[in-house]
A and B are shown apart, each in its own frame.
Chain A
Amino acid sequence: KQEVTQIPAALSVPEGENLVLNCSFTDSAIYNLQWFRQDPGKGLTSLLLIQSSQREQTSGRLNASLDKSSGRSTLYIAASQPGDSATYLCAVYSGGGADGLTFGKGTHLIIQP
């Protein structure tokens, strides 16, 4: 059974810092991995999707990497801003009859102004 772990569970940093969020998964046979952002009481916003054949994806100040063989992904946020404060969720899609995403519990990020 696929399990996803996110470290740290919470993070508070001053505005302007670069930061890294970590995600690990137990079964490397994944189809893709998605990073999401969730604001309090809201739905999920997709940030980046990395296919299993890819090593990284970039969108603006965000960069996500994938090391499938070691079961790890990182989300790098450059020049953090208070508006980046949210919970960041990592999810893997295994396909092949397990068509739902398996999520981690998320990293609660606070950017101090």
Chain B
Amino acid sequence: DTGVSQNPRHKITKRGQNVTFRCDPISEHNRLYWYRQTLGQGPEFLTYFQNEAQLEKSRLLSDRFSAERPKGSFSTLEIQRTEQGDSAMYLCASSSPDRAIREQYFGPGTRLTVT
């Protein structure tokens, strides 16, 4: 059991640049979630995939943000034209297809700093 992995762990970028993060869920999990966490706050939900379908997007997910999950395996989160307000920890989680459980397991996160 390798758990949820995320890459890179840290990313420093200049304002206006594009960045892309990757998440690899637990292999048998068909549900994948992205969250954003700023200092002193709990994580906030961004978007959710069931297999390759993106089924829900928060209003926090502006037009500059896009997420994909090709073939229902790993997922990428891209932020275009980054702003200083995008600085945060980006967390990925996955959960089992078993309706009775729905326990979410989180990865270590990608910390983004926009300078």
Contacts and interface: CB of A to CB of B under 8 A. Distances in A.
A binds B: yes
Interface of A: 4, 31-32, 34, 36, 41-46, 49, 51, 89, 91, 93, 95, 97-106
Contacts, number: 65
B41 interface: yes
A49 B96 CA distance: 13
A101 B108 contact: no
B42 A46 contact: no
Contacts of B102: 31-32, 93, 95
Interface in B82-107: 91, 93, 100-107
A59 B56 CA distance: 32
A93 B104 CA distance: 10
Given A41-B111, A44-B91, A46-B105, A100 B42 contact: no
Contacts of A104: 42
B109 interface: yes
A104 B37 CA distance: 11
B10 to A, nearest CB: 10
Interface of B: 4, 6, 31, 33, 35, 40-46, 48, 55-56, 58, 91, 93, 100-109, 111
B111 A91 contact: no
Interface of B is mostly: strand
Given A100-B45, A100-B56, A105-B41, 7 more contacts: A43-B4, A46-B104, A89-B43, A100-B46, A101-B45, A103-B43, A105-B40
A103 B41 CA distance: 9
B71 to A, nearest CB: 21
B107 A103 contact: no
A34 B40 CA distance: 19
